[in-house]
């Protein structure tokens, strides 16, 4: 298993993580076994947004023998009222729900204390100005939560979280279909008419990834498989099916992304996801699926897929493009991006303009021209 630094938290998280929301539908002993198997395979981050006692107990028991080796994303604002999940900012509900989570997960702390699921602007404004955020700060100051995170599907809210200075990491929904969606404050409408909305990479989402990378805010990923819709050509908005390994690779090649948290019903599904770690380039190749799909609009935009290799000058074209995209988002090139770019050897200035890479790019990126512009920008 490979591990990545989760931005400014400094925590090293496994590329393949564990989203816990399907645990509730299985007998406790099966869920506990699944978590222990994940640990044996090197998975070390698990999300627990679920407020129900059963899911929390399964996670607590699954990680009990090695609590200090797990990084738990626990949510503040996910509550259990009358046997049902209720998202709340009311401390009369939030406080007991969080304390219940703390007790069931065990260890006396939560690694990543997530401000739970804010997609709407008015909810963000209310949550960030009042007793809810005071409670989050209090938990952080006491060391009960070690880092503050946020879960959201909305790039506008995520960008505000980056700017606010309090949030250290974000749980964000990432897959090739969502990346083509306009920003929405309503998750339901995101699913409703996606087939009409294929219009290239949404600039707000692209800007968010780059902002997170520039500010050292690590992203963990939810909904990487679009609820399974992308596994089937009939339900995929691209009109073509992806494999789990391809979708994992897509998520893990977005800037700032550190870990994808997949849901598992079985040990086989878990092992299928972990197989990403040893998969070859052909298996990871999501780009040819997108490019050959009846519906796609990524033309001219680099998806950092690496298809354009080899380069006679040995330039890492995908990385150069990534740093270029990062740099042009800002009025001046951020020093951190400049330093990363100059660590590349060779860099864009080595390009001889042969354009042999362009014939291999599924998205018709004018690579030689971009190399020229990149070299100028980073002079
Ligand atoms: S055009 Fe530049 S980047 Fe592309 S293969 Fe030739 S030398 Fe490499
Ligand atoms: S230039 Fe084209 S082939 Fe190369 S990484 Fe970007 S999208 Fe992929």
Residue 332 lies in a domain: yes
Residue 208 sits in the same domain as residue 127: yes
Please report the pLDDT score of residue 54 as a whole number. 96
Same-domain status, 264 and 166: yes
Q: Burial code of 115-137, b = ≥16 C-beta within 10 A, e = fewer?
A: bbbbbeeebbeebbeeebbebbe
Q: Do the domain assignments include residue 221?
A: yes
Residue 54 falls within a domain, yes or no?
A: yes
Mean pLDDT of all residues in the chain? 88
- Ligand 2 midpoint to CA 378 (Å): 20
> Encoding tokens for residue 50?
């679920």
- pLDDT given at position 206: 84
Q: How confident is the model at residue 196 (pLDDT cuts 50, 70, 90)?
A: very low
pLDDT of amino acid 172: 94
Residues 252 and 365 in one domain: no
Q: Is residue 214 part of a domain?
A: yes
Mean pLDDT of the 155-166 span: 95
Per-residue pLDDT of 291-310, as tens digits, reads: 766 555 556 777 777 778 88
61: three-class secondary structure by DSSP = helix
Q: Examine the domain organization and report whether 200 and 133 are in the same domain.
A: yes
180 and 62 within one domain = yes
Return the ligand 1 atom nearest residue 355 CA.
1
Residues 323 and 232 grouped into a single domain: no
H or E segment at 12? strand 12-14
* pLDDT of res. 320: 94
* Structural contact between residues 230 and 191, judged by C-beta atoms closer than 8 angstroms: no
Nearest partner of 248 among 283, 291, 217, 216, judged by Cα: 283
* CB count in 10 Å sphere of residue 248: 27
Q: What is the mean pLDDT of residues 283-288?
A: 86
Last residue of a domain, one of 283, 301, 336: 283
Q: Which residue has the higher pLDDT, 188 or 241?
A: 241
Residue 155 lies in a domain: yes
Do 277 and 327 have their domain in common?
Answer: no
In a domain, 57, yes or no: yes
Tell the residue nearest (CA) to atom 7 of ligand 2.
Answer: 302
Same domain, yes or no: 95 and 199: yes
Task: Give percent above pLDDT 90 in the chain.
Answer: 65
* Shared domain check, 324 and 266: no
The 10s digit of each residue's pLDDT in 207-255 is 899 899 999 999 999 989 877 778 888 777 777 889 999 999 999 999 8
Structurally, the chain folds into a number of domains equal to: 2
pLDDT of residue 277: 97
Rounded mean pLDDT, 115-125: 92
Is the same domain home to 184 and 326? no
Give the residue-averaged pLDDT of 201-208.
83
Q: Is it the case that residue 192 has pLDDT exceeding 50?
A: no
Same domain, 73 and 217: yes
- The CATH number for 275's domain is 3.20.20.100
Query: Same domain for 269 and 325?
Result: no
> For 35-64, what is the mean pLDDT?
97
Q: Is 1 touching ligand 1 by the criterion CB < 6 Å? A: no
| Cβ of 307 less than 6 Å from ligand 2 | yes
Residue nearest to atom 2 of ligand 2 (CA): 361
pTM score, whole prediction:
0.75
Residue 322, domain extent: 317-377
**32-48 burial: b if 16+ Cβ within 10 Å, else e:** bebbbbbbebebbbbbb
Closest ligand 1 atom to residue 348 Cα is 3
Please tell me which residue, 329 or 342, carries the higher pLDDT value.
342
pLDDT for res 334: 83
Tell which of 283, 305, 331 closes a domain: 283
* CA 316 – ligand 1 centroid, Å: 10
Domain boundary among 266, 283, 300: 283
Query: Which residue CA neighbors atom 8 of ligand 2 most closely?
Result: 305
Res 64: pLDDT: 96
Residue 307 lies in a domain: no
DSSP character at residue 275: G
Q: Ligand 1 in contact with 313 (CB < 6 A)?
A: yes
pLDDT, mean of residues 199-204:
68
**Cβ neighbours around 13 below 10 Å, total:** 25
pLDDT at 149 over 90: yes
Q: Is residue 297 part of a domain?
A: no
87: preceding bond cis by omega (within 30 degrees)? no
């Amino acid at each position: 298993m490979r591990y990545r630094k989760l931005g400014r938290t400094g925590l090293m998280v496994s590329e393949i993580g564990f989203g816990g929301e399907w645990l509730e539908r299985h007998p406790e002993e099966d869920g506990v076994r699944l978590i222990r198997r994940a640990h044996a395979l090197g998975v070390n981050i698990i999300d627990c947004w679920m407020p129900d006692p059963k899911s929390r107990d399964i996670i607590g028991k699954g990680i009990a023998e090695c609590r200090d080796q797990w990084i738990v994303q626990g949510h503040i604002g996910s509550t259990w009222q009358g046997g049902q999940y209720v998202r709340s900012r009311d401390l009369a509900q939030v406080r007991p729900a969080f304390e219940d989570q703390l007790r069931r997960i065990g260890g006396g702390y939560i690694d990543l204390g997530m401000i739970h699921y804010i997609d709407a602007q008015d909810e963000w404004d209310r949550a960030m100005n009042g007793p809810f955020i005071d409670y989050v700060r209090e938990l952080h100051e006491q060391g009960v939560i070690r880092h503050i995170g946020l879960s959201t599907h909305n790039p506008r809210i995520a960008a505000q979280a980056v700017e606010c200075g309090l949030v250290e990491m974000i749980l964000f929904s990432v897959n090739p279909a969502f990346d083509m969606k306009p920003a929405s404050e309503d998750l339901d409408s995101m699913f409703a008419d996606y087939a009409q909305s294929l219009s290239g990479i949404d600039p707000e989402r692209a800007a968010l990834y780059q902002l997170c990378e520039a500010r050292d805010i690590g992203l963990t990923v939810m909904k990487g498989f679009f609820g399974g819709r992308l596994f089937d050509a009939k339900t995929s908005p691209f009109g073509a099916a992806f494999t789990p390994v391809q979708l994992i690779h897509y998520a893990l090649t977005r800037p700032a992304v550190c870990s994808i948290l997949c849901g598992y019903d079985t040990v086989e599904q878990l092992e299928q996801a972990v197989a990403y770690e040893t998969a070859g380039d052909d298996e990871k190749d999501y780009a040819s699926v997108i490019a050959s799909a009846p519906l796609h609009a990524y033309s001219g935009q680099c998806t950092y897929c690496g298809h354009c290799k080899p380069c006679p000058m040995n330039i890492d074209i995908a990385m150069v493009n990534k740093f270029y995209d990062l740099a042009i988002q800002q009025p001046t090139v951020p020093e951190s991006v400049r330093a990363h770019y100059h660590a590349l050897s060779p860099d864009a200035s080595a390009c001889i303009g042969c354009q042999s890479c362009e014939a291999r790019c599924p998205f018709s990126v004018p690579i030689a021209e971009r190399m020229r512009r990149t070299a100028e920008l980073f002079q």
